Structures are given as C-alpha cells and as structure tokens.
Amino acid sequence: MMLVSEPNHPSPILIIACGALAHEIIALQALNGWNHMDLTCLDAELHNKPQLIAGKLRQKIAQHRDDYDNIFVAYADCGTGGAIDKVILEAGIERLPGAHCYSFFAGEKQFTAIAEQAIGTFYLTDFLVKHFQRLVIQGLKLDSHPELRNQLFAHYTHLVYLSQTQDSLLVEQAKAAAKALGLVFKHHHCGYGDLQNGLEKQILKFG
C-alpha cells in the first residue's frame, strides 16, 4: 500500500544507500531531525564488486516502489560505468553527485585538488578504515597471498584518508593501513561533504 503523508506532515522518503554510508546517514538523520526519512542499504561488500551494484539496486527499488512516492539513491557512480545512472533514469529518481564516495565526501573541487597532488592514490573513509582488514586485506586476499600487494598496488604511491569524524584512533589505524600497503600516508578531514548536502536537498524537498 502506498505510504501517503497526512496533512501538515512531510512526505516519507526512502534512502537506498551503500552499507558503507549507513552510519553517516543515521548520524545526519539524528543531527537534522529527518524523521520522515527511512533507510535501507545494499551490502557494503559490493564495494569490491561494483559490477553487481546496479542489478541489486534495481531489485531494491522494485521491492519498495509501491511503498514510497519518494526514493533517493545514496550512491555515486561507484565504479559501475554509468550502470547506476541507467537504473535511476529508468526509475525516474536521483542519486548523490560524483563518481564515488571519496569525491562526494571531499566535495568535487577539493577532491580534484587532492587527486592532482598525488597521482596514484588509494582512498579510505571512516568506514573503510574501520573495516580495512575485512574489505581490503581479506577482500583482496592479501592475507593468504601477500605477494598480490605488489601487483594490485603497483601503480599507487599514496594512501589518503578522507575522514568524516575527528578520531585520533582512526587516524592511527589509517596510518597502519598505509604502512601495510607500502604507501605514503596523508590525511584530509572532510566531514560529510556532499553526502549531507545531497541528502538535505532531497529530504527538505519533501519536508
């Protein structure tokens, strides 16, 4: 049954997000009082399998289409080569700006500047720092095949941590990740960037 807002009440909006953004989106919801926002996530493990994202996203939209008038996708392109854009065009909905979460956390202008400073950069966010062992070391099988490090990261020179929160422990963990990959460490605190701006624009539209 279609969810319809009551008089003087905001229209409910469903955010379909990458699981890697769930913590940040929930924090923004609490901070801003977005009570008419609901959140559902795709598996963060898809970070390493971008070719599967569009299909999973299409299924998730279809699953909730009859329940919400308003749906927004909290993904950038995320390495799908335009496949996400094809899905949202079919569905008539929108997504976050940018090519990937690194660019919308940093903001396009700052991200471009950071990228130009060090060609060959591997990026981490708060989520990826917290789950570095599972998503990077184990996900890329570097734990069982450490020799793959030189193959997979041969063209990288720097690891840049784009932090959402001010957390010294995460900074130390990010430094350790850079050392494990043999990369030069840099840190830029970005906050929520265009994740906040993109969500706010959509949520206030229906508020």
SS3 per-residue string spanning the chain: CCCCCCCCCCCCEEEEEEHHHHHHHHHHHHHHCCCCEEEEEECHHHHHCHHHHHHHHHHHHHHHCCCCCEEEEECCCCCCCCHHHHHHHHHCCEECCCCCHHHHHHCHHHHHHHHHHCCCEEEECHHHHHCHHHHHHHCCCCCCCCCHHHHHCCCCCEEEEEECCCCHHHHHHHHHHHHHHCCEEEEEECCCHHHHHHHHHHHHHCC
Give me the pLDDT at residue 176, please.
Answer: 98
Backbone angles phi, psi at 161, to 5 degrees: -95, 115
Which positions ≥6 away from 193 have C-beta within 8 Å? 104, 105, 106, 107
Nearest alpha carbon to residue 15 among 3, 29, 33: 29
What is the pLDDT, as a whole number, of residue 25?
96
Please give the chain's pLDDT, 207 residues, in tens: 445 544 556 789 999 999 999 999 999 999 999 999 999 999 998 988 999 999 999 999 999 999 999 999 999 999 999 999 999 999 999 999 889 999 999 988 889 888 888 789 999 999 999 999 999 999 999 999 999 999 999 999 999 999 999 999 999 999 999 999 999 999 999 999 999 999 999 988 876
pTM: 0.85
What confidence score (pLDDT) does residue 118 get?
79
pLDDT at 8: 58
| pLDDT value, residue 5 | 47
Of 57, 79, 157, 171, nearest to 125 by C-alpha is: 171
CA dist., res. 138 & res. 132, Å (int): 9
Query: What's the pLDDT at 1?
Result: 47
In order of their start, the domains of the chain are 13-100+194-205 (3.40.50), 108-189 (no CATH)
Of the candidates 140, 168, 159, 58, the one whose C-alpha atom is nearest the C-alpha of residue 102 is 159
